[in-house]
Amino acid sequence: MDIVIAGGHGQIALRLARLLSARGDVVRSLVRNPDHAADIRDVGAGPVVCDLERATPEEVTGHVSGADAVVFAAGAGPGSGVARKDTVDRGASVLLADAAERAGVRRFLQISAMGAGRPPRPGTDEVWAAYVRAKGEAEDDLRARDLDWVILRPGRLTDDPGTGRVRLAAGELGRGDITRDDTAAVLAELLSNPRVNRTTLELLNGDTPVGDAVAALA
């Protein structure tokens, strides 16, 4: 497969690129910082410099053209404020989905977050409220499209080593942790299993081998 990962220098994105290139897929990683190109090559992928807060729809369409699937793995990150939750967590996903539609790339995986779209409780920190609002709006945008989409909501991400075992469900799982390693493994498995389609999944550490967890949803 030929796969585009947006936010290609992200921690999940790098793990995913390494898994995909090791199994023989071609990976194009969109990064905003040209200095990250060497890290992308180190995981076996091809860097494409593209800042998703500045690129035009035409440019992004060109970057995804000919791919079998795109993965939205970007995020404004913990140090960012309200404005960038909107421009990255919502806006960049919408831009990528527009580009996928224009280029005829049907398969679209979106990394979202638990609590996306739920009204924040009174007194919630304004940046967190903006984050869950942005993720919810990005999800709603994707659900309305004629694409073969999957929304994946990981729990709290950790850098513990992956176990290859998870809890994955089309429904709410409650709070918990999930390793970035296993999140990347689930994304790789979803890319090879197109029968899991048009669904919103939640993901936590668990006991079910990744392949079985994805196959059970097909």
Ligand X SMILES: NC(=O)c1ccc[n+]([C@@H]2O[C@H](COP(=O)([O-])OP(=O)(O)OC[C@H]3O[C@@H](n4cnc5c(N)ncnc54)[C@H](OP(=O)(O)O)[C@@H]3O)[C@@H](O)[C@H]2O)c1
Window contacting ligand X (CB under 6 A); options: 38-46, 96-104, 152-160, 167-175: 152-160
User: Would you tell me how many other CB atoms lie within 10 Å of the CB of residue 128?
Assistant: 14
Cβ–Cβ < 8 Å for 59, 35: no
121 catalytic per annotation: no
Nearest alpha carbon to residue 177 among 200, 154, 144? 154
Among 4, 5, 20, 32, binds ligand X (CB under 6 A): 32
Is 97 a binding residue for ligand X by CB under 6 A? The answer is: no
Per-residue string for binding with ligand X, 63-92, x by CB under 6 A?
----------xxxxx----------x---x
Window contacting ligand X (CB under 6 A); options: 2-10, 18-26, 120-128, 142-150: 2-10
Among 26, 157, 173, 215, binds ligand X (CB under 6 A): 157
Cβ contacts of 166 within 8 Å, gap of 6 or more: 178, 182, 185, 186, 203, 204, 205, 206, 208, 210, 213
Is 9 a binding residue for ligand X by CB under 6 A? The answer is: yes
Task: Copy the structure tokens of residue 152.
Answer: 């994946």
Residue 141: strand, helix, or coil = helix
Long-range contacts of 44-47 (CB under 8 A, 24+ apart): 44/17, 44/18, 44/20, 45/5, 45/8, 45/17, 45/20, 45/21, 47/8
Number of residues that bind ligand X (CB under 6 A): 23
* Torsion of the alpha carbons at 184, 89, 98 and 193, rounded to the nearest 10: 20
Among 11, 21, 163, 192, binds ligand X (CB under 6 A): 11
Between residues 75 and 206, which has the closer beta carbon with respect to ligand X? 75
Between residues 62 and 215, which has the closer beta carbon with respect to ligand X? 62
Window contacting ligand X (CB under 6 A); options: 97-105, 142-150, 154-162, 186-194: 154-162
Residues of this chain that interact with ligand X (CB under 6 A) are: 7, 9-13, 32-33, 51-53, 73-77, 88, 92, 111, 113, 154, 156-157
Which residues belong to the active site?
131
